[in-house]
Structure 1
Amino acid sequence: MSENVWLVAAIWMGLAFAASLISIRLGISVALVEILVGVVAGNFLGIHQTTAWINFLALLGSGVLTFLAGAEIDPASLKSNLRASLSIGVLSFLLPFAGVWAFAQLVLGWGLHQAQIAGIALSTTSVAVVFAVMIETGLSETDMGKMILAACFITDFGTVLALGVLFATFNVWLLVFVVVSAVMLWFMPQWTRSLIGHVGTSAVSEPEVKFILLVLFFLGGLATTAKSEAVLPAYLVGLVVAGVFVRDKTLMHRMRSIAFAMFTPFYFIKAGLFVSLPVLWASLGVIAVLLLLKLSTKVVGVWPLARASLMRPREASYTTLLMATGLTFGTIASLFGLNNHIINQRQYTILVSVVILSAVVPTLIAQRFFQPRAGTMKAWGRLYRRAAERRAEVASLEG
C-alpha cells in the first residue's frame, strides 16, 4: 500500500479530517488533536513509515506555520507595549531554556546538543494556543491581550534564533544566507505592498500567495544549504510583512486556509507518529519533572515582571500561565532534533509529551481559575499608557 500514493494520501487526509472534527467537537487546538491522532496512528494503526512527499509536505507545513506565527503580530501593538512585552518575553525564554538545558545535561545525563534541544523545545510559548484562547474569549483586541501576544512573539523569536544559531555550521554559505536574508527582509514589505497594489487580492491565480511561498522556499533553501534551520527566515519574513497582513485580512485568511487544510496536518500528524507510548509510560517521572521545571521557570520569569507592569495578581497569573503554554515551536524543535539524529526516540517522546501537556495544563488552569474580564484588560492598557507617559515626562525633565 505504501507504493500507492493515492491511498497513502487518502489515509493521511482521513486522519487530518478526523482531527478537524474532533477539534471542533471538543473546542481545542487542531494542532494538538493532530499530534494526538498521529500518536494513535503510530502506536495502534501500524503507520510507522513516511514517504519523501509526506516529509516534504510536513517540512513545508512547519515553514508556513512559522511564517503565519510571525505575521500574527501587530507591529503597532508590539511598539506600544514594547517595554512590558520585551521584558516578559525575554525572561520567558531565557529561564526555561537555561533551566531545562542544565537539568537535562547535569541531572538526566543527556549530551550537550541533546540538552540544548530540550532547552529550546521547552522554552517556547505557543502563539497558536494563546491566539486561539484570545479569539475564543474575545480578549484578542484588548490592550493586555495584544501585549501577551507580543510577548509570545519575543519568546518564540528567542527559540527560533537559538535553534538557528546553536545548530548552524559557520561557513561562507552562512554569510551568504545572512546577507541575502537581510536584504530581502528589508524590501519584503515594499515588494508585498507593491504586488498587492498592482494585482489586487482577487486574482484567481493568487500571485501574492505564490510570491510569499517563493520567498519562503528560496530563503529556506539558503538556510538549509548553510546548515541552519528554515523556520528562522520564515518567522522573520512573517514579522516584516505583518503590517501588510494586518491591513489585508483577506491575504492572511487565504494563507491560513491553505496552510491548515493542506500542509500543517502532515507536519503535526508526523510529529505524533514518532511518539512511543511504551517509552512514554516508562518515562512518566521524567516527563512530570520536566513539565514542573518548565512551569516553575516560567512563573519565576514572568509573574514578577507582570506585577511590575501594573497587573493585578489575577491578571499576572493569567499572563504567566498563557506564557507557559507550548506546542508549535516545541514540536518543531523536537522533530528537528530527531530528524537530524541529535536526540533519540525516547528523548523525542519525552519532549513532545511535555510539550503537549504544557499546551493543555496551563491553558485549563488559566481559563478555569484566572480568566480576567475584557474590561479589566482594557483598563490595564489605559493604566499602562499613563504610567509610560509619566515616565517619559520624568525622563524629559531630568534630561
Structure 2
Amino acid sequence: MLRKLLIGTALASSFVFSAHAEDVKEVQMLHWWTSGGEAAALNVLKEDLSKEGFAWKDVPVAGGGGDAAMTALKAMVAAGNYPTASQMLGYTVLDYAAAGVMGDLTETAKKEGWDKSVPAALQKFSVYDGKWVAAPVNVHSVNWLWINKAVMDKIGGTEPKTFDDFVALLDKAKAGGVIPLALGGQNWQEATMFDSVVLSTGGPEFYKKAFNDLDEESLKSDTMKKSFDNLAKLVTYVDPNFSGRDWNLATAMVIKGDALVQVMGDWAKGEFNAAKKTPGTDFLCYRFPGTDGSVIYNSDMFGMFNVPDDRKAAQVALATATLSKSFQSAFNVVKGSVPARTDVPDTDFDACGKKGIADLKAANEGGTLFGSLAQGYGAPPAVANAYKDVVSKFVHGQIKTSDEAVTELVKAIDDAK
C-alpha cells in the first residue's frame, strides 16, 4: 500500500526544498514527542546541533503511539515533501526503505563503527539491503510497572512477582480509595499493556511464537484466551473516565498519587524525571509480574530520507549527533530509555535506568529480547494495527468474550498479512 502511494513521488521529491537556501543548514524533524519529558529529551539533540551551526525545525504531531504522525508523514512523502528525518518505529522504516525514499547513511555508519556498537536487533530495522537508512535513538522496553511509592506505602503493598500478586495489590489500592490502575483508553496503550500480559501468561517462548512468529496455533490457543481473561481482569481496576486519555495524563495520575500504578513503557519515566521525582523515593519501577528476565522492546529511530545533496550535511550532522556516546547518555537519561549502542556507560543513569540497561544486556544475551507487537517491532504495521484494533475492541466491550477475541485476532492478523 505504501509503495502504491509513493509511486511517482520519489523523483519529484528531490527538488522540493532546493529553492530555499535556509533549509541547507536546517534539520527538519517530524516526531510525536510532545509531552513534557519527551520535549525535554529532544532539547538535548537540538542543543547539540545548534552548537554545530544547524537550526532545528519541528514538525510535531501529538499522539503517543505515533499513528497521527505516520499519517502526516505518508502525506508529506506522497507530496514529495521530505523531512530531513522522521521519528519512526521498526517495520515502518523498512516499509519506506522498500519504497525507495530513504537516504543512505552507510558511509557515516562505517566511519563511526555503528555495526559494532548497535545491537543486531536494532540493525535489523535500521539497515535495508545492506544500507543504513535510520539512526537508532534509544531502546525502550514496555514490560514495566510504574508505582507511586507513597500510595504503595500507605496500602502496605509489596512488589508483585506473579499476576495473582498484581491483582491482590490492585485490590489493596481499591480498598484504600485510590484508583488502582491508570490507563489511557487508546488502542496502542491497551495493546502495549496486553503485550506484557501475554508474556506474563504464556512465558517467553509463547510470546515469541504468538507475537513475533505469528504462529496461528499460539494465537488461537487456550493460553491466548487466558491472556485475554487476564486483560479483562485488569480493566476492572481502571477508572470510568479512561477512554481516550493520553498516556502522559495516565502517568500524571500516578505521579500525583491519584492512582497506584501504570503499565507502560519506560518513556513514562521521562514524565517522572520532568516532575523532579526520584526512583526509590517517589516512585518504584518493577518489571510486569511474571516477565522478569525478558524484555519486550521498541526503539525510536530517526529514519533519514533521500534529501537533495545540499541538505545532506544537516542530515549527516543529525545522524552523527544521534549516535554519539555523549548524546546517547544525556538523551536517554532524560527520556527514560536506555542507549541504542552497547558501549555507553551507565554512570549517569538512575536506579531504573541502570536496571533497564542490565535487563537489556541479559535479555539480549539470553535470547529473551522480543519485539513489541503493539509498538511496531513484532510484525509489519498492517498486522500491528489489526492487533491493536482487536485488543481495543475487547477492552471497550465490542468483543465480549476471550473466545471471540481469539477468533477475531486470528482472522484480523491473517487478513493483514
Q: Provide the TM-score with structure 2 as the length reference.
A: 0.26
The structure where strand makes up a greater share of residues is: 2
| Structure with a larger share of its residues in helix | 1
Structure-1-length-normalised TM-score? 0.27
